[in-house]
Chain A
């Protein structure tokens, strides 16, 4: 989603990482890159100029103080500004004191209002509400049928007295819907309206009337995350002519650089409440500005990860894992296999892992992880005896050959698995003991394929930690984002 923006910002930050001090021209060069990154990400020009001005001013301040790590300081400034632009805190939908709460969805054609109506209904239903969907898009051919199907999928009631396709009056439908909801005790009414252009005076008037006649409690502006510079124009026009209380970003699952997200909040001052991230009705998330800012800067999104892993592990697994962490016992391949299986339930591996701090640097590798890779890895481990899984050190040449044959893989695959696992377990153990190695953000390890000329087997290095060693070799030191460290300390 924000990958492109992330990658560009990080590459310009990396240039500064080797520097101990920072000169004015470094800051200026960085801000120029930042400006390009933001523009390429479709952030509105006015927002970009403002953003860059702040970063430039604060960046230049860095010169005066003898800052130890200028790159890190600049990241902090950009992160802080991003957070400010994205809205700071997570905002949730508010409900009317006197039910039903009327939620009105507005936006351009094709923004994704109808799909979103279903997603929102399902989300609210899961929270114990009894939402009613209202088909007030009587313009687009078969929008009413689409909403009917969406309602059926979400398992919620729909109010659709008019056939649509140009027939019926959306204002009357909306008004009748609120009455209907009062009678049938629906506590939330979600009104899907026709897409309309902000320059269409007639239709803007219509939606104002819907707003007034239903005393809509929350007007939500739905906007496609792929929108370009027009996002601010349209958002501003809807703000002026209809007014809205919150923003919903749709189609955030593509590779849109999401500049619209940054601009719209800034220009209208209204919070982004939700993000819609796929075609399934469950592909819907509460929007967290802090997490998004961290994601943009590749600082990971641990919070979401933790929540996700909460869901997929049972109590016994959690307990066992915790014991191991506390006792400082080594992780073995049996644990690894179990974890891999648990992870499968958290969604596509590459997506899950991309929330880890530093994941952007290994995007190339992550993108290529597929289920087959996991299957092959599992096959190798499953071909080991329980003893071997618990203590991979006993794996000698003949055992490795047997395992390779058993799993239909090459001995080199087995070797690679054992080596990589040993490294990973070592880092894990150090982290569990609170010795956070400086070199670990998530493995900023270079792609191994590119290192063919490097010595084949383990060589003595200053650092026993592979990630740190790799970092040392590249002459840079990566520091673990603070939120990550704090999590470990808790």
Chain B
């Protein structure tokens, strides 16, 4: 590496970095102060006998390994300290935390409109397919809108699912704008007296501001035609603490009303939902646990907890 290249890189970047880095701006960049969680708990732990401490520490580790996250784990441990740290009490504490948010019902309306959102690869299209099947089995007339106009072959993937459960898919022209596909879907659903419209959307990382803006637009456009009754965020059970940020950001953009946890048939426990529910009041509605059409169920807190502790 000769001096010239380095000089150039440094020069350009330093000047521009210094320039923009020192510019006036009002936004605060101070990070929120952490509460002395560990020291606080540590002090409390010391006062209890050592054996009990060991049990609590083990439980803490189990929770951490299930992706429950530090804050939610500490909260659970602190609940548990009010009683004896037995397995049954742990189950009860966990259950109490999930039951506060238990809500398996979708909102009803003459036309239920369900928007399905999430980051890439969590299983949105699969969940849309399974949800369509689940609702058709209950005798509802379901229409799908293929709103993932971005990923290669996503529309075809949705069509295949639709064929399996015999529901109609509204497909936009190939490079259609997702908002217009959703709108066409809403129009079609109304004209054909459907009970439910499920709108699939492209996976998007919550950090991409423009894509999140696009999602808000999709919702606004549907709202012109029909009320969006549910916005379901699909969350991959293997996701770690990033799930909390995902839930927060998607909620800010489209006001998420419920979660679908997918891939619970694997070794991942999905404990991040405890962390999510600590900051966000969003119920878990469904779980996906396989690749088959029927591998989809209403969320059962007890089953979930048993699996988590298994």
A residues apposed to B, CB below 8 Å: 7-8, 11, 32, 36, 39-42, 44-45, 108-112, 139-143, 145-146, 148-150, 153, 165, 197-199, 224, 226-231, 233-234, 237, 250-251, 253-257, 259-260, 279, 302, 305-306, 309-310, 313, 317-319, 321-322, 324-326, 331, 335-336, 339-340, 342-343, 349, 352-353, 356, 359, 362-366, 368-369, 373, 377, 416, 420-421, 423-425, 427-428, 431-432, 442-443, 445, 447-450, 466-467, 487-488, 490
Contacts and interface: CB of A to CB of B under 8 A. Distances in A.
A199 B266 CA distance: 6
A431 B14 contact: yes
The 9 A-B pairs with the shortest beta carbon distances in the complex, nearest first, are A228-B240, A364-B29, A110-B121, A42-B240, A149-B152, A424-B18, A146-B153, A230-B268, A141-B160
A305 B1 CA distance: 13
18 contacts: A111-B121, A145-B152, A148-B152, A228-B239, A228-B240, A231-B238, A234-B266, A254-B205, A254-B207, A257-B242, A321-B4, A339-B11, A339-B12, A349-B16, A356-B13, A362-B29, A363-B29, A365-B29
A256 B8 contact: no
B18 A322 contact: no
Interface string B122-139: 110100010000000000
Nearest to A145: B153
A160 B152 CA distance: 16
Contacts of B11: 321, 324-325, 331, 339, 428, 432
B153 A425 contact: no
B16 A339 contact: yes
A416 B6 contact: no
Interface of B: 1-29, 31, 34, 37-39, 61, 64-67, 69-70, 119-123, 125, 129, 150-154, 156-157, 159-161, 205-207, 236-243, 245, 263, 265-269, 271-272, 291
Nearest to A466: B22
Contact of A432 (B7, B38, B156, B266): B7
A466 B123 CA distance: 52
A227 B238 contact: yes
* B64, B66, B238, B241: most-surrounded residue (chain A CB, <10 A): B238
Contact of B22 (A150, A349, A448): A448
B16 A425 contact: no
Given A108-B266, A110-B263, A253-B205, 17 more contacts: A40-B241, A142-B154, A146-B154, A148-B153, A153-B152, A227-B239, A229-B67, A279-B120, A326-B3, A336-B16, A362-B21, A362-B29, A377-B19, A427-B18, A443-B21, A449-B24, A487-B1
Contacts of B238: 108, 224, 227-228, 230-231, 234
A364 B27 contact: yes
A310 B13 CA distance: 13
A346 B10 CA distance: 14
A1 to B, nearest CB: 9
B139 to A, nearest CB: 25
A44 to B, nearest CB: 8
A118 to B, nearest CB: 9
Contacts of B39: 32
Given A140-B157, A339-B12, A322 B240 contact: no
